[in-house]
Structure 1
Amino acid sequence: MTVPGFGGSAMRILWFSPAVAATAYWVAAPVGAETTKSFQVSAQIVAGCIVVANGQGSWGAIDLGSVAGTAGASAQGSLISTAGAGVSIECTPGLSATLAIDTGDHPAGSQRRLGLMGGTATIPYQLYVDGAATAFAGSTPLSFTAGPRLVPIRAVATLAAPAAAGRYTDTVRVTLSW
């Protein structure tokens, strides 16, 4: 069967046209239906704190400088850390925490003392925390709002008697608990 005027080629066009149309339909149509699913994302925020340190396990140093070894001589200095003059602590907003400082490596009872390197002589000193006017004795409560809080720590040493010349040091351990 031919269509007049097409010289026999019309049959082939009609014969292949449905096959081409069906193939185009199946290629363009999706194989499966679209579905929408969901999943949840959540996080549990727990109370906690971080302390800015210099990356070497130390919060900084207090250098009392040089002073004459005569009775009544006094020296003082502040903790200088990577955060500035003090320890930078950031806690969950609204958290109540406690900062405790031990009596160091050379105590006499509850009195902190600097020890002469290579010797046995000591010099008593006091720590003052967070701007307090009285010496720090044990622990102090701290409260936190959003953002880091700089806690200044100051040391004062006064010679009650003449002291031997040399370098005096102490190491204290600080505990932050919540």
Structure 2
Amino acid sequence: MKTREWCALKVALQSLLAVVLLWGLIVGSANAIITAQFKAQATIVAGCAVLGTGSLFGTLSFGTYPGTGTGGVNGTFVQNTSLTLACTPGVTLNMAINGGSNFTTVRNVMQSGNSLQLPYRIYTDAAHTNEIIVNQNVPLNISSSNNNIILPIYGVLQLNGFSPSGSYTDTLTVTLTW
């Protein structure tokens, strides 16, 4: 064999050996089994959500009375049924209500298109013993079934004996914190 042919054969054998060794590494590593563990973790925090549509949470309705009516009349809060307030278990829910659009020294409903006002107060209980002070947090006792919380809002409107007929309204903002 000539030197030149011998060199070519030597290079070919070296290349073949390199391919075989590389193949052995690839196949050998494909057969290796490595076992390790990892952890799955989540942290859940307490919270609440208002679900549904609409921005009006409800209406405190005092009803219809004659303009000559006097004394206090009770109002009932009717929560918007297209909205649901839901909280996770263990939440401490607080409610604060502002003074409304017509606040003076007390909350007032105002006659539409006029400046005539009638004062009212709001409470967290039907007996009207726990008044909701303007912008002060009131802790709410919520049950273990926290998926449809009804806000405890009760009102007393003071009729003055001479109120022109018409619609009297106020708009309040309720702030819920937890």
TM-score, structure 2 normalization:
0.66
Give the alignment partner of residue 86 of structure 2, picking from 76, 84, 90: 90
* Consecutive unaligned residues in structure 2, runs of 5 or more: 1-29
Q: How does 1:33-44 map to 2 (within 5 A)?
A: 38-44=37-43
How far off its partner does 1:146 sit? Answer: 3.0
Structure 1, 162-171 or 42-51: larger mean CA deviation: 42-51
Distance 2:128 2:71 in 1: 20
On the 8 A contact 2:79/2:151 being kept in 1, the answer is no
Name the structure 2 match of 1:147. Answer: 145
How far off its partner does 1:177 sit? Answer: 1.5
Name the structure 2 match of 1:125. Answer: 120
Distance 1:91 1:57 in 2: 19
SS state of the match for residue 99, structure 1?
strand
Q: Return closer, same or farther for 1:146/1:39 CA change in 2, 3 Å cut-off.
A: farther
Deviation digits for residues 133-162 of structure 1, max 9, x if unmatched?
A: 323223311244532243331222121241
Q: Return closer, same or farther for 1:143/1:77 CA change in 2, 3 Å cut-off.
A: closer
On the 8 A contact 1:88/1:151 being kept in 2, the answer is no
Which residue identity does 2:95 align to in structure 1? L
Which residue identity does 1:80 align to in structure 2? V
Name the structure 2 match of 1:59. Answer: 57
Aligned residues: 144
How far off its partner does 1:83 sit? Answer: 4.8
Deviation digits for residues 22-79 of structure 1, max 9, x if unmatched?
A: xxxxxxxxx7566666543322111222235x51112121222211011415543322
Deviation digits for residues 102-143 of structure 1, max 9, x if unmatched?
A: 11000112x110011110000111112244532322331124
Q: Return closer, same or farther for 1:42/1:82 CA change in 2, 3 Å cut-off.
A: farther
Which residue identity does 2:132 align to in structure 1? F
Q: Does 1:104 align with 2:100?
A: yes
* Consecutive unaligned residues in structure 1, runs of 5 or more: 1-30
TM-score, structure 1 normalization:
0.66
On the 8 A contact 1:92/1:145 being kept in 2, the answer is no
Distance 2:175 2:125 in 1: 15
Q: Return closer, same or farther for 1:158/1:81 CA change in 2, 3 Å cut-off.
A: same
Going by fraction, where is helix more abundant, 1 or 2?
Answer: 2
Q: Does 1:115 align with 2:110?
A: yes
